[in-house]
Structure 1
Amino acid sequence: MTGISDSVPPDTPGGLITSFITDVLVKACMEMSKKQRKFQRREFKRHKGISGVATATVLPPGVDIHTDLCIYRECNKIHRDGLQAGASGLLRLKCREFEAKHIPASKIVPLLESLDPSCVRRVDLNSTFSELKELLQILPHLLCFPQLRSLKLQFSFMYLRNPTPELAKRIHCVSRLLGMLLSLRELNLGWSTISGNLHQMLCFPFLRYILGFRASQEFSPGFCLSSGQSGEKLPVTHKMSHNSSPQESMDSLAFLCARRIVAHHPLPAVPAHLHPILFQAAFLDGRTLVLRDLVATWPFKELHLQRLVGHMDLLQDHSCKDCVQAVIQGVVEKVKRELEEPACHSRLRILDMTDDVDSVLVFAGWTASFSTVALVNACVEVFKDHQEFQRHGFKQHKSCSGAASAAPQPPAVDIHADLRIDTESYRTLRDGLQAAAAGPLRLKCRELKAEFIPAASMVPLLRSLDPSRLRRVDLCFSSLGLTELSEILRHLSRFLQLRSLKLWNTEIDLQHPTPESAFGICCVSWQLGMLPSLRELSLGMSKLSGNLHQILCHLQAPLESLRLAYCSLLPASLTFLSQSFHAPALKILDLSGHDVSQGLLEPLRLLLEKTSASLLHLTLECCHIADPHLKVLIPTLQRCSRLRFLGLYYNPLSMAALRDLLQKTLELPDLCQVVYPEPIDCYREDPVEFYYDFMECADQELLAAAAAEISQLLENSGRTDIVWTDDPDEHCPMDYFSL
């Protein structure tokens, strides 16, 4: 009979004690209880034996009635006795939800004691008490309900604004009792003046509530709570916003309680589903010991660091380095424990530290390769322990016949990471990658970035990497000639998932071809053709001249991202691109550093025409684009219907040309950012050539006026979603894998 509406009928007498269904059920139980006692007395006499010893009376099995009980106004002895009869008689009441209104706490306790504890999932006490001491009378009796998931204490009118020492002690007791309700998922404290005491009341419960706060509820100004509507579910996980401060990020009661819990070490035993939010709170507050313990006992197969903590530059009160180190150490302890106790296995098999954790550490002031070195050192440490375990296991498992049986091996943990290598960390990484390939802590590199590493030193690193996950190789300032590049490409061919290859500021110079360079170009072209998944290629600062066709001619699939900044391309190179099968597939194109006045304007226009259906990101910085050149390009830019970004910095454009560009590109629906050059109108003298340092001659008042005019034009056109900026540092290059 659960789920049936049990309201007081409008035509019933005003003195009705209970709602209709509850009243009928209680009377039925009382009646059945009287008949049962009468039957038992009669049967006792009839079954009494000759010897005077009474035999047991055989009773029918009885009937369980599952129902929701509602009691209003006043309660008397009849209903208390009726509930007791319904708990133990032949007609047994199994209460699922218990609601009481306007009944004193002293009379609630006998009713709770009369309920069968096996089924109660909700207790709703409305206008029952006004002081904490009355609540303390009720809460101990709720502990006998193991299935209690919802507790509503509405209209209690508790006033906790100015707590005395005695009141503070009672708040603490209430908190501990709430914490003992292990199944609680919903809590309603409506119309209680809690003020700043909510965190004291809820610091022990395990973060599982649905709030029901009302407008009259008062909080202290320092307490931030965005989820304040009745019945609104608070998420178990908490995602930190990129633009919010840590204080502003405390927008859920669950996260607030989690921060209280992780303030104490060691943690109590917590359910598996609470580990993610406790991890977030511990990371935000810098609780390294708690982080280490959480990772060591992680109850899920995968732990993805970036998904859990979001943007780590929010952390202001502690070192992000310490937290990353604690996470790594937690995995080390987990593997070591499994080595020592083979029967003790946690579920964690993948620690994902990708999404450029090291770049965040650079922002925080740490060296770029910190997490890379920490991961490699952890793999070496576990590898040594594993070797020691194998030696001991070999002796321990040696049979009596002298034959050695294999020692049990713990399941391995894969660490997915983006590795950054420089000259200081090279030796550590080279030795560590070899250990990581054979130990129970296996390093799976997703992206490899190396700076100032010679080609001869790169080859051993590439040989040590697991080929299953590598998707990007980024070599910067690596002193690569054609011969060295060909050797590296030969070792990259075993990485079948490699989709991105970046070679920035190499020593490749093909402006003056020789027979040796022609052979080198042929080798590089063939090796690039051996990369079947390659979709992004960056050759910035390589002097390719007119050899682009020879380099790209053996690629198996069209490129989607091509960065050729400052590559000294000739008009024939752009013509080749516009006629190749790459053009219709290009999403990212960077041709910065090429002078369009040197015969490149028309080939560039044709190339943009061919890429117009797919192009998302176009960078033409420092291309000597003047007003007449831009006028030629604008109609083609208007056809790039999917364009999101346009970079035109370091080009000598006037304010009139920029104004025309803005008006003509408003129709591009996806355009969200334009990096424009400082207008030449804003300079105190006309430049003879457009050098980088010429902006020092700009008039700041004129620049401010130009920026204000652009903002006004965007506002008048209703396209305030487009960001126009003259600061190139505000733009982060679009990552191919984010498309």
Structure 2
Amino acid sequence: MVLSLLSLCASEVVRDHSSSPCWLSFVPMELFRPLLEASLSGCRPLAVGELVQRWPERTLRVRRKPAPNRLCIQALLLAVVRGLLDPRCALQMLDLCGLQGNEGGTGDPMGGWSLTVALCTMVVQARSGAQRAQRERKRCSDLEREQDVKRERAGNHTGDEEVAGSDTCGEEELIPGVRRRMEVERKREPTSTGSGSKQEVKDSEVLVHVRADLFVNARSWERVRGALTTSGPLNLQCRYLRVEEISVSSIKTLLGLLPQQGLLGLDVRYSNIGVAGLAELLPLLSSFPALSSLRLHYCNLDLRREQPDQGEALKELSEGLKQLQELRRLSLTALRLPGQLRVLLSSLPQPLEILELPYLSLSPADLSYLSCSHHTPTLQQLDLSENRLDEDTLSSIRRLLSQASGSLLHLSLSGCGLTDNLLGLLLPSLGCCRALRSLALALNPLSIAGLMQLVRTAVRMPSLRQLLYPNPLEDYQPGLPELPSSAQLLDWPLDDAADINFTSSQINRALKESGRSDLLLTCDLLNYDKDLVD
């Protein structure tokens, strides 16, 4: 990345913290943002704190990439609290959405859970600080009033002595004490324009709205609930809510505490909510008019076996989904709903743009419905990983790809059991996806011949920027079954004696001959990220 001259100069300015008193008071407001960005990227927490404490604009949005260092984020949050009592700070909206990085990643970024806990602590501390400041103001006010009373009494005593010595009434002597009291009272009253100093703000008045993505689990649940129910100078708002391993009742409580206008997405993971619990949550979600994303991962929704009132529960799910007018993303991972896709998707009023259905045990009837549904022509991202594909479902997949060829940007068919023969029949349909930017086909049992057929198709797709391909069967140690599953391919060791470099050289040669320097081919499943091409 080529840095601009302004960025380079800003980096030099914030490099030496000892010089900050010399320039900080004279910086125009237009330069605060590049200086803050340089401080964050250069990991200068002291400079971050000083800039944020006197932030001259009403809004501060922190860039997501690269993820700032943990120390810088902590310094920023502390500076926001200090800025509440700093008349130079004009901050009214702090936007930290999308800021959390991978916990323990390069550069020590702050993960989602840690950031949520830090935000909640900041909200509670700001409330306590405002209460202490208010008590201190009251104490000072009482002291001033007591001194004024003493001064007035002293004046009255002097006047009485003068009256005793003469027949003249000394009312003029009371005027200085009364005027002083009037001036003190006038200082205590807030101005009519609301431009009083921040020290005079009540502890329940909101000064800064803080907007972020919240990650809540059993360990942070009480702290998050406390922050959301705290009235004070900082108001915590949520854009995307992610919950893990908490009960349906706790999720319902959280939803009841969030402003209805701000929530865009709900992500529920590893929570034993079941079909009945989901049926309870969906009506609550309809009260959030902007909700566009619903993600359910490993939530114990299993309809493979007949259960009492199963039909009624499905009907309730369908009715609940029907109320989500703005839903554009639906992710269902390992919910075990074979044959029920039509019931779920047909009730959605608007076509989806992102549909993720990994480990869903999709049946041929599910795939047949999906290929003809009203969602298919608008899909930009589709994940069918770990759903077994065979000759019975191949025609549905080809029809689906044909319907979505103009809109589909990201496709994942990893672990779908695609052999050389099945993939060969599917490649013409894949080649017609003219908008496709990333394609994931890891953990499929392909030989070197099938893999090279895939690579030759990929290099002819001009929009494709990233291909996640599987290790060919020849690269594994002996002993694999004839048609290994994705789990076996994931666990089986590669053969050190095999000529893996031969596979890489063939792929690189095909890539070089095509002239596609813009196409990334990788078999690194753990570090694959489709968002890199956006």
TM bucket, shorter chain: 0.7 to 0.9
Aligned partners of 1:262 and 1:282 also within 8 Å = no
CA distance in 2, matches of 1:585, 1:417: 29
**Aligned equivalent of 1:348:** 91
Distance apart, 1:465 and its partner CA: 1.5
Aligned partners of 2:56 and 2:88 also within 8 Å = no
Aligned equivalent of 1:577, options 360, 370, 389: 370
Aligned equivalent of 2:324, options 528, 531, 537: 531
| Residue 179 of structure 2 is aligned to residue 422 of structure 1 | no
**Aligned equivalent of 1:698:** 495
Identity %: 31
Aligned equivalent of 2:67, options 312, 337, 348: 312
CA distance in 2, matches of 1:254, 1:501: 41
Distance apart, 1:509 and its partner CA: 0.5
CA distance in 1, matches of 2:124, 2:105: 24
Aligned equivalent of 1:412, options 184, 207, 218: 207
**Aligned equivalent of 2:73:** 324
Residue-by-residue CA offset, 1:432-459 (whole Å, 9 max, x unaligned): 1111xx3221112111112222222211
**Aligned equivalent of 2:407:** 614
**Aligned equivalent of 1:725:** 522
Distance 1:368 1:354, change over 3 A: closer
Instruction: Show structure 2 runs of 5+ residues with no match.
Output: 146-180, 183-187, 191-199
Instruction: Show structure 1 runs of 5+ residues with no match.
Output: 1-225, 228-233, 239-251, 314-319, 339-343
Aligned partners of 2:402 and 2:432 also within 8 Å = yes
What is the correspondence of 1:585-734 to structure 2 with a 5 Å cutoff?
585-597=378-390, 599-685=392-478, 687-688=480-481, 689-690=484-485, 691-693=488-490, 695-699=492-496, 701-734=498-531
Residue-by-residue CA offset, 1:239-289 (whole Å, 9 max, x unaligned): xxxxxxxxxxxxx24422332356656864132223223323433454433
User: In structure 2, what residue type is equivalent to 1:439?
Assistant: G
What is the correspondence of 1:307-456 to structure 2 with a 5 Å cutoff?
310-312=65-67, 320-335=69-84, 337=85, 344=87, 346-359=89-102, 364=108, 368-387=112-131, 412-435=207-230, 438-456=231-249
User: In structure 1, what residue type is equivalent to 2:378?
Assistant: A
**Aligned equivalent of 2:53:** 296
Aligned equivalent of 1:277, options 23, 28, 34: 34
Stretch moving more, 495-504 or 536-545: 495-504
CA distance in 1, matches of 2:408, 2:494: 35
Distance 1:268 1:693, change over 3 A: closer
RMSD (CA atoms): 2.9
Aligned partners of 2:391 and 2:422 also within 8 Å = no
CA distance in 2, matches of 1:345, 1:274: 15
Distance apart, 1:585 and its partner CA: 0.7
CA distance in 2, matches of 1:467, 1:390: 31
Distance 1:653 1:347, change over 3 A: same
User: In structure 2, what residue type is equivalent to 1:545?
Assistant: P
Distance 1:389 1:562, change over 3 A: same
Distance apart, 1:392 and its partner CA: 7.9
CA distance in 1, matches of 2:26, 2:393: 66
CA distance in 1, matches of 2:23, 2:49: 11
Distance apart, 1:356 and its partner CA: 3.4
| Residue 273 of structure 2 is aligned to residue 480 of structure 1 | yes
Distance apart, 1:597 and its partner CA: 2.5
Aligned equivalent of 1:516, options 282, 296, 309: 309
CA distance in 2, matches of 1:373, 1:574: 42
Aligned partners of 2:436 and 2:464 also within 8 Å = yes
User: In structure 2, what residue type is equivalent to 1:300?
Assistant: E
CA distance in 2, matches of 1:661, 1:276: 47
Residue-by-residue CA offset, 1:381-400 (whole Å, 9 max, x unaligned): 22234456667889979999
How many matched pairs?
A: 473
**Aligned equivalent of 1:127:** none
Distance apart, 1:707 and its partner CA: 1.3
Aligned partners of 1:266 and 1:290 also within 8 Å = no
User: In structure 2, what residue type is equivalent to 1:596?
Assistant: L
Distance apart, 1:538 and its partner CA: 0.4
CA distance in 2, matches of 1:671, 1:724: 10
Distance apart, 1:646 and its partner CA: 0.9
Distance 1:311 1:567, change over 3 A: same
Distance 1:439 1:325, change over 3 A: same
**Aligned equivalent of 2:159:** none
Counterpart secondary structure, 2:313: helix
CA distance in 2, matches of 1:579, 1:350: 45
**Aligned equivalent of 2:356:** 563
CA distance in 1, matches of 2:36, 2:296: 38
Distance 1:641 1:686, change over 3 A: farther
Q: Which has the higher helix share?
A: 2
What is the correspondence of 1:80-99 to structure 2 with a 5 Å cutoff?
none
Residue-by-residue CA offset, 1:542-590 (whole Å, 9 max, x unaligned): 1010011111222110011111101011110111111110010111111
TM-score w.r.t. the length of structure 1 is 0.60
Aligned partners of 2:100 and 2:110 also within 8 Å = no
Residue-by-residue CA offset, 1:476-502 (whole Å, 9 max, x unaligned): 111120111122222222221111111
Distance 1:280 1:365, change over 3 A: closer
Aligned equivalent of 1:461, options 237, 254, 270: 254
What is the correspondence of 1:105-144 to structure 2 with a 5 Å cutoff?
none
Aligned partners of 1:296 and 1:331 also within 8 Å = yes
Larger Rg: 1
Residue-by-residue CA offset, 1:204-234 (whole Å, 9 max, x unaligned): xxxxxxxxxxxxxxxxxxxxxx89xxxxxx6
Q: Higher RCO, 1 or 2 (CA under 8 Å, sep at least 6)?
A: 2
CA distance in 2, matches of 1:544, 1:500: 20
Aligned partners of 2:329 and 2:352 also within 8 Å = yes
Distance apart, 1:723 and its partner CA: 1.1
Aligned partners of 1:263 and 1:287 also within 8 Å = no
Distance apart, 1:503 and its partner CA: 0.5
Counterpart secondary structure, 2:237: strand
Aligned partners of 1:617 and 1:734 also within 8 Å = no
